Amino acid sequence: MPKVKVDGIEVEVPQGATVLQACEVAGKEIPRFCYHERLSIAGNCRMCLVEMEKSPKPVASCAMPVADGQVIYTNTEMVKKARQGVMEFLLINHPLDCPICDQGGECDLQDQSMKYGVDKSRYELNKRSVKEKYMGPLIKTVMTRCIHCTRCIRFAEEIAGVPEIGAINRGENMEITTYLEKTLDSELSANVIDLCPVGALTSKPYAFEARPWELTKTESIDVMDAVGSNIRVDTKGWEVKRILPRINDEINEEWISDKSRYACDGLLKNRLDTPFIKVNGKLQACSWVDAFKFISDNTKGFTGDKVFGAVGDLVDVETMYMFKKFFKDVLSSDNIDFRSKNYFIDPSHKANYLFNTSIARLEEADLVVLVGTNPRLEATILNTRIRKAYLARKTKVYSIGDVGDLTYPHENVGSSFSAIGDILAKNGKIYNSLKSAKKPVFIIGESGLSANGEYVLETIKKILKDNNFLNNDWNGLNILHQNASSVGAIYLNLLKSNFLDKLNDDTSKVVYLLGADEIKVKPVNKFIIYQGTHGGINSKIADVILPGAAYTEKQGLYVNTEGRVQDANKASFPPGDAKEDWKILRALSDVFKKTIDINSHLILRENLFKEYPIFKEVDELPKSEIDSLTFKNVTPVNGNIKIADFDFYFSNIIAASSKTMDECKKAKQILQKTGTDN
């Protein structure tokens, strides 16, 4: 490994590292605009100039590879002057509109011109102005502010896989634009807002909402999908103003999907802020006491198999635990399920329902087989890892079931179940690729498990076992869940066979919907309790509505599709009379005179950890216990895997309530209708 001296400090960096990285190892801060760790190197902003011994000119440290024996200076007069010069050039055409710029306060250009720039300009000519560009409903552009770092271009091309941004014209006339000014056709598009070091690309829904120093920042976990992206929730008072990604290399690196980022305005709309009861077929606002009394009056005598509990897609582990406890202790029932549509889950072993390869190691894959899943929509962040693998080693991707564009090339091998059987029988294209693969990955989606799920799961397990890809070094078996609550619910064993069928027949008398918005309930001869955050189809048919807290309004654990437990913090509080969900269940148990003796969130967690120690290991990947995995023989089946339609922008009640998501959906529809041909 080459050794370099930076300002007298000797550091050793890996071969192929850049001078800038070496300087960082030495603890020296190098200003930069175009350089970004996760993007390719452009070297066009020139801000990272440093002095290198034996070089007559300052060198751009971001693009200069280290060589053994280099001597670098970052604090000489030459470097200072070079930086000042670059800064002056960058500011020539940059408007002085910081007071009305949304980037103000968190602007790289602002900060670095304070630290490295000069205090006045010598430029006397007119500044250029550039027309705004349309980049869709999320990205507000003020292109006059652009300093042409090209980070957005590189992001769109490399990470998002939608090479639609480019730099047109040249020299002073250079402009960043999308091809014919179209909406960016990506579920990750808003990440360019974070990447933009100036105020050229800012957030349209957040425009002029708040200044960064007014916001309270809370670290939390995203619940829009089962990936569990790490987020930061910025609040001003009660209102969630914006959501930004937090860096977590194991999961989301530093990206989040547009839904994670912008569904938050759905938290302000359509909220349930007071209990309701249905009187003469009409929902009426009422007090908590009345609502509880109404419940206890109408559910008398119904226990065991007559009560049904449906858990929704955004529910945290503590609430589910409390729900389970409530059903067991108060209603003497274990009739709870988290699935809003039928698909097969084998809870007997963790490996049967987790994303075992782990999201980070997906990058190492040299063969990806998607079985009934569209990761681009179901787990956008995870999809970027597959793309990364593709970019690194041209990973071959096969899909069983038609999925459309995935941002990387893939081959569709039909949607028949026999495509899986063929691999087992050592036939076909996939088997040929599997033979030479060292780290193959099979990703089974919920659609892949919905019909003949057991056959799909067991066959793929057997394929992996036969080819020795199911061991402690490499586990290629992956289930991709769609909902943030799914794995937590399986850990708590909230599964019941034939739940959905029985729910809508005569045996069900009481249905308790815990944030369950997707599940279809026929409101005949049933008493329906809806506990949740937003008004939707299921709250309309309910006899009682209990207003709960959304994911930003309570502390809670979420388990992502890898089985990783993560702690989401409370950033805001529930609106109006709404309460945290576990408290509602606690109070309700009182009304039934079967008090659950849990009086604080701390005690709730203690109980949870005692009963289910698996939740104790926050942020850790669950241990692989692959040796104890059992296998079953299954008989081949006929038919096709049908990938269920997935409405990315409306996939849960918060997103469906969001105005921004609605705009995104409309923009997407226009884009699909017109394409690039107008």
Partner 1 sequence: MSGKHVAKDQPTAFEFNEVNLKRIQEILKKYPPERKKSAVMPLLDLAQRQHDNWIPNAAIKKIGEILEVPYIKVYEVATFYTMYNLAPVGKYFVQVCTTSPCMIRGSGKIVNLCKKHISEKEGKLSDDQKASWIEVECLGACVSAPMMQINDDFYEDLTEETATKIFEGIKSDKLPKHGSQKGRVGFEPNKRLTLVKN
Asked whether position 628 contacts partner 1 by CB under 8 A, the answer is: no
Residue count of the chain, please give it: 678
Q: Which is nearer to partner 1, 143 or 634 (CB)?
A: 143
Q: Which range of residues in 172-180, 216-224, 310-318, 577-585 is near partner 1 by CB under 8 A? A: 172-180
Near partner 1 by CB under 8 A: residue from 165, 444, 528, 626: 165
Q: Which is nearer to partner 1, 157 or 239 (CB)?
A: 157
Asked whether position 158 contacts partner 1 by CB under 8 A, the answer is: no
Asked whether position 175 contacts partner 1 by CB under 8 A, the answer is: yes
Supply angle C-alpha 459, 461, 467, rounded to 5.
105
Q: Which range of residues in 159-167, 218-226, 246-254, 420-428 is near partner 1 by CB under 8 A? A: 159-167
DSSP state of 273: -
Are the C-beta atoms of 581 and 607 separated by less than 8 Å?
no
Report in angstroms how near the CB of residue 157 gets to partner 1 at its nearest. 8
Asked whether position 180 contacts partner 1 by CB under 8 A, the answer is: yes
Report in angstroms how near the CB of residue 128 gets to partner 1 at its nearest. 9
Asked whether position 392 contacts partner 1 by CB under 8 A, the answer is: no
Q: Which residues pair with 3 in a beta bridge?
A: 12
Are the C-beta atoms of 117 and 88 separated by less than 8 Å?
yes
How many Å apart are CA 31 and CA 90, to the nearest integer? 13
Asked whether position 92 contacts partner 1 by CB under 8 A, the answer is: no
Q: Which range of residues in 157-165, 301-309, 395-403, 551-559 is near partner 1 by CB under 8 A? A: 157-165
Asked whether position 409 contacts partner 1 by CB under 8 A, the answer is: no
By CB under 8 A, the count of residues binding partner 1 is: 18
Asked whether position 43 contacts partner 1 by CB under 8 A, the answer is: no
Q: Which is nearer to partner 1, 69 or 163 (CB)?
A: 163
* Residue closest to 274 by CA, chosen among 599, 539, 602: 539
Report how far apart, in Å, the C-alpha atoms of 211 and of each of 100, 198, 236 are.
10, 15, 10
- 194's CB contacts (< 8 A; 6+ apart) are 244, 245, 254
- Please give, one letter per residue, the 3-state secondary structure of 376-435: HHHCHHHHHHHHHHHHHHCCEEEEECCCCCCCCCCEECCCECHHHHHHHCCCHHHHHHHH
Asked whether position 673 contacts partner 1 by CB under 8 A, the answer is: no
Report in angstroms how near the CB of residue 643 gets to partner 1 at its nearest. 27
* Residue closest to 126 by CA, chosen among 103, 102, 144: 144
Q: Using the structure block, give the residue that is written with the tokens 């910025």.
A: 234
Near partner 1 by CB under 8 A: residue from 169, 280, 635, 638: 169
Asked whether position 168 contacts partner 1 by CB under 8 A, the answer is: yes
How many Å apart are CA 396 and CA 406, to the nearest integer? 13
Q: Which range of residues in 175-183, 436-444, 546-554, 625-633 is near partner 1 by CB under 8 A? A: 175-183
Near partner 1 by CB under 8 A: residue from 24, 51, 102, 164: 164
How many Å apart are CA 393 and CA 47, to the nearest integer? 32
How many Å apart are CA 456 and CA 438, to the nearest integer? 22
Report in angstroms how near the CB of residue 170 gets to partner 1 at its nearest. 5
Report in angstroms how near the CB of residue 63 gets to partner 1 at its nearest. 21
Asked whether position 507 contacts partner 1 by CB under 8 A, the answer is: no
Binding pattern for the stretch 104-143 against partner 1, x by CB under 8 A and - elsewhere: ----------------------------------------
Report in angstroms how near the CB of residue 135 gets to partner 1 at its nearest. 12
Near partner 1 by CB under 8 A: residue from 70, 141, 178, 483: 178
Are the C-beta atoms of 619 and 565 separated by less than 8 Å?
yes
- 70's CB contacts (< 8 A; 6+ apart) are 2, 4, 5, 19, 22, 52, 53
Continuous H helices in 592-647: 601-611
Q: Which is nearer to partner 1, 77 or 677 (CB)?
A: 677
| Number of helices (H), then strands (E), in the chain | 20, 26
Q: Which is nearer to partner 1, 129 or 633 (CB)?
A: 129
Q: Which is nearer to partner 1, 175 or 305 (CB)?
A: 175
How many Å apart are CA 657 and CA 554, to the nearest integer? 19
How many Å apart are CA 179 and CA 631, to the nearest integer? 52
Report in angstroms how near the CB of residue 171 gets to partner 1 at its nearest. 9
Near partner 1 by CB under 8 A: residue from 43, 104, 166, 347: 166
Tokens of 551: 């994911």
- 465's CB contacts (< 8 A; 6+ apart) are 631
Q: Which is nearer to partner 1, 163 or 639 (CB)?
A: 163
Q: Which residues bind partner 1 (CB under 8 A)?
A: 157, 163-170, 172-173, 175, 178-180, 676-678
